[in-house]
Amino acid sequence: MIKLVVALIVIGVMVRLAWKLLNWAWLKPKKLEKWLREEGFDGTPYKLLIGDFIQQAKMMKESRLKASPITHDITPLVMPFDHHIVKTYEVDVCPFIDNLAGDVISRTAFGSCYEEGHVIFRILREQTEYAIENIVMIFLPGGRSIPTRANRKYKDNEKELQAILRKIIDKRNKSLKIGEDSCDDLLGTLLKSNAKAMEGNGVGMSLEDVIEECKTFYNAGSETTSRLIAWTMVCLCLHPEWQIKARQEVQEVFGSRELDFESLKQLKIVTMILNEVLRLYPPVVMVTRATTKETELGNMMMPAGIQIAIPILEIHHDREIWGEDASEFKPERFTNGIGDATKDRGSHSFLPFTGGPRICIGQNFAMVEAKVAIVKILQRFSFELSPSYKHSLTPVFTLTPNFGVHVVLRTI
């Protein structure tokens, strides 16, 4: 009996040690690896016990045997494996910035219903991708009715989107009628204004109109601001002297205290930087306007029914307007405001939010959001472009970095 008890204890101890060993050598590392990947961090897969040791030793040996040109760029020589990891894996900030912009617009548009807003945001992003995938079909007679994969998914998404928005709007309308809704988000403001208009003269927006307004606010208000923040980070990486100036200004204005709206107005250098980024990398590179009647444009008469293209990107890079340094990053050109930045052309040549009666209604909102994001980043990190960054751009819905924005972040 005693031998049996001893044997059971020994077996129990061995099982416990084996479990601890398994957890230490495999289960815990794999769990941590999964966690980090879900948080957006990439890297080499975990290898049992040895990790990256063999590859690291091999690269160190090769580095020692190689002669190199005389240079101050010694990181690849001294830390070849670490340099390789940084070059191959660092952080692509675009998905994080997209999520930030989506969260801000969701809360602004739908307040307490912002979680449903995230679903709407996801669907609208997919719709943009399907529209691009099916771009050729749009110009074919009946092209949108052809049952391609993109067309089918687009229609399914549209049904889901309509159902979600109808549900949210119906719920809010009921709350408004019984006086329970006190939200000052976009949807609440829109519905209250519409209700007053309907009571006053019986004319207001239909449910479909309200749905389209919400969709427009999402599309125009999230991706455009996200791109502004992303390209600002690229420009501050390429011009670290301006990153330093901006960080010093942020420190002077805010110190260690929290951000507040009034103090944001004091950020002259940050505003200059954002304006220069909007000039060089306008989120929307071209807009069109249609004439509904015969219209006088300068010394010309435009007939009704024509489309006029306004090439924002071309205007922003025009040397006659901005000078010979039009393609250079020079925030100082905005030292005295937008009006004095051009060569006596006034502010009408600066069109990141278009201009005139149809100027973007979210202009101030976008600038405040971008300032807050950039200030928060500058307070916590210094950053530079990763060696894996590829400067490639495509005007999709907005001016998009094709391969993301990979940067190396360092905690301050």
Q: What is the pLDDT of residues 47-58, one digit of tens each?
A: 777 777 677 677
For residue 305, is it within any domain?
no
Considering the domain architecture, whether residues 123 and 48 belong to the same structural domain is answered as no
Residues 48 and 95 occupy one common structural domain: no
Query: Is residue 150, in this structure, part of any structural domain at all?
Result: yes
Lowest-pLDDT range, 2-6, 122-126, 313-317? 2-6
Q: Judge if 138 and 206 occupy the same domain.
A: yes
Q: Say if 310 falls within a structural domain.
A: no
Looking at the structure, tell me whether residues 196 and 51 fall in a common domain: no
Above pLDDT 70, what percent of the chain? 85
Confirm whether 401 is domain-assigned.
Answer: yes
Q: What is the tally of structural domains in the chain?
A: 2
- Over residues 65-91, mean pLDDT: 65
Q: Are residues 185 and 51 in the same domain?
A: no
| pLDDT in the model for residue 125 | 78
Q: Is residue 147 part of a domain?
A: yes
Handedness of CA 192, 195, 197, 199 (dihedral sign): negative
The per-residue pLDDT for 114 is: 59
Query: What is the average per-residue pLDDT within 313-322?
Result: 91
165 is in which domain, residue-wise? 91-283+362-411
pLDDT tens per residue across span 146-194: 778 888 888 898 888 888 888 888 888 787 777 766 667 777 777 888 7
Query: Does residue 289 lie within any of the structural domains?
Result: no
Q: Are residues 41 and 143 in the same domain?
A: no
Claim to verify: residue 135 and residue 42 sit in the same structural domain: no
Same domain, 134 and 29: no
Q: What is the pLDDT of residues 199-213, one digit of tens each?
A: 777 777 777 777 777
Q: Please tell me whether residues 4 and 124 are part of one structural domain.
A: no
- Indicate whether 340 belongs to any domain: no
301 or 209: whose pLDDT is higher?
301
User: Is residue 294 one of the residues assigned to a domain?
Assistant: no
Region 78-85 average pLDDT: 66
108 and 210 together in one domain: yes
What's residue 112's pLDDT? 57
Mean pLDDT calculated for residue range 94-114:
76
Asked if residue 40 has pLDDT above 70, the reply is: no
Residues 133 and 233 both lie in one domain: yes
pLDDT of residue 39: 63
Range in 109-118, 210-219, 302-311, 347-356 with the lowest mean pLDDT: 109-118
| 74: confidence class by pLDDT, cuts 50, 70, 90 | low
Instruction: State whether 268 and 374 are in the same domain.
Output: yes
From 10, 33, 55, give the residue that closes a domain: 55
- Residue 138 belongs to a domain with what CATH number? 1.10.630.10
